[in-house]
Amino acid sequence: MAKKAKTQFVCHTCGYISPKYLGRCPNCGQWNTLVEEKIEDKPTRHSRVSLSGQKSRPEKLSAVQSRKEPRLATEMDELNRVLGGGVVPGSLVLIGGDPGIGKSTLLLQVSQQLSKLQGDVLYVSGEESAEQIKMRAERLENGGSDFYIYAETDMGAVRDAIESIKPDYVIIDSIQTMIQPELTSVAGSVSQVRETTAELMQIAKTNQIAIFIVGHVTKEGSLAGPRMLEHMVDTVLYFEGDRHHTFRILRAVKNRFGSTNEIGIFDMSEKGLVEVTNPSQAFLEERLEGATGSAIVVSMEGTRPILAEVQALISPSVFGNAKRTATGLDYNRVSLIMAVLEKRAGLLLQNQDAYLKAAGGVKLDEPAIDLAIAVSIASSYKDKGTSPEECFIGEIGLTGEIRRVNRIEQRVNEARKLGFKKIYIPVNNLQGWQPPTDVAVVGVTTISEALRLIFQQ
């Protein structure tokens, strides 16, 4: 009689293991995240060994020779910004994004630039053939690029190719297609993704090879596979964008070599991704002068100030329950600000439908955008436009106060560079620095005071 295969259920969010199926993971509390896996005999684990055969060994911290690894800057300044200054040798970078958003296009362009600047690049594709990649490269006018293409999903064969070529950079597209031969589970399962990433991490760290990994995302927008995948890598980048807009945003959510929450902005064209060097101007170029329900805010994305337009449309509700819609803004934040406006500023919004969006496809989620949201709502409700030379920065509290925000000097200077003449900020942010003399910086204490000054009532 054949021996029955043993199975277990593994949570692909947190890695919790259960002998039987559970609808809800008892560890992380997520529903329907446990998937069935066969229990294999674990392969024997060895210590870290480099491709040259040298093993790592314990040593005292005082005896470790510190060295500053030079970063290699690509020709894309936006990518260098997100990575913290350039590609770090020995780093493991995970890039996730929706299907068709441009992940492979970005890495194909990066491969061409790295091979031209310095070192060998190995592009491993588990989703496309070498001919398909060649066709895309010719469309991007990179058909003559001198880097290696390897269409393979077997991790053992990939390691042999790395030992043979000894590249400086490796691209894995994508991690969900790679398989470990000794594991019997299917490609993309929790165990396959975990073990494959662990081997890639070992290769990167012991041989100083920078490795980029492409990761799929779920319908909720998070990276597919075990949650520990994001903990294992050095850098996690999300490639975001709206299918109806050509702008693409590369956002860092984890970076051991630089600042998190940095963003790089690209424009998708027929010949690939083109950097947007002045995103503030790009997001504001289609703004209508004198339109109601519009307000400009200076949002900080990591260390970078970006001007964006917040739009609101307030109209009387036809039905009993007022409708609330937010695009590019947090729905709960919008509801909170509308409640504060009704309670503290006397705007009767309970019988008004509200539609808000961040124009241009950008997503805004920091507290400093509160004042701009409130001004756009009040502008549409009163049917009075704001001045095209004014912008608004500040967080709103539940008692109606305008609270201090960070990096106020950078925000004001960015607005000043784009020609804004009056900037409303929290009154407490006026302390400790000298505002520019050619810009009127107005400090406000409460939301009612701000609306009175803006609309002259």
Annotated binding site: 97-104
User: Cα–Cα distance between 346 and 364 in angstroms, integer?
Assistant: 26
Torsion of CA 273, 170, 198, 53, to 10 degrees: -170
CA 62 to chain centre: 37
- Which ranges constitute the DSSP H helices of 61-152? 77-83, 103-117, 130-139
Instruction: Give the Cα separation of 79 and 316 in Å (integer).
Output: 45
Residues near 138 by beta carbon (within 8 Å), at least 6 away in sequence = none
Helix (H, G, I), strand (E, B) or coil at 273: strand
Backbone angles phi, psi at 158, to 5 degrees: -65, -40
CA angle 21–24–27, rounded 5-degree value: 100
Distances (CA, A) of 175 to 199, 200, 212: 12, 10, 10
Binding-site residues for ATP: 97-104
CA-atom Rg of the chain in angstroms: 26
Alpha-carbon span 28 to 247, nearest angstrom: 35
E strands within 320-453?
Answer: 324-327, 352-358, 390-392, 395-396, 402-403, 422-426, 440-444
Which distant-in-sequence residues (6+ apart) come within 8 Å of 378 by Cβ? 341, 345, 347, 451, 454, 455
Query: Rounded to whole angstroms, how far apart are CA atoms 343 and 349?
Result: 10
